[in-house]
Amino acid sequence: MHRTHSAYSVDISNVNIETLVEPETPYVPPVLTIRGSFGSIQLYAINEQLAEIEYALKQHLDGIRYPEIPDQMQILNAEINHAIEEAAS
């Protein structure tokens, strides 16, 4: 079977967007919708395809280095070390 491929590009990097997934109905699969000042993009996909999209987005976002926020254990260790240093002085 011969398939044709198309590419559609919309730059949403400087636009506020609203994203939602409309549930499937007996007539259509779930619909991923992205809305903004550019209009609306609707992607009809089965749940397995939406899961693939989620996986790709999660992989990308997990790879971004966010500024580290100290966790409670780091704060506690710093306080303990500071107390030890003061006691030793």
Structural domain spans, the chain:
18-88
Q: Is the pLDDT of residue 65 over 80?
A: no
pLDDT of residue 17: 95
* CA separation for the pair 46, 12 (Å, rounded): 24
In a 3-state reduction of DSSP, which class is residue 21?
A: strand
Where does the pLDDT of residue 70 fall: very low under 50, low under 70, confident under 90, or very high at 90 and above? Answer: low
44 or 81, higher pLDDT: 44
Check: CB of residue 40 under 8 Å from CB of residue 33: yes
Structure tokens that stand for 9 in this block: 């590009």
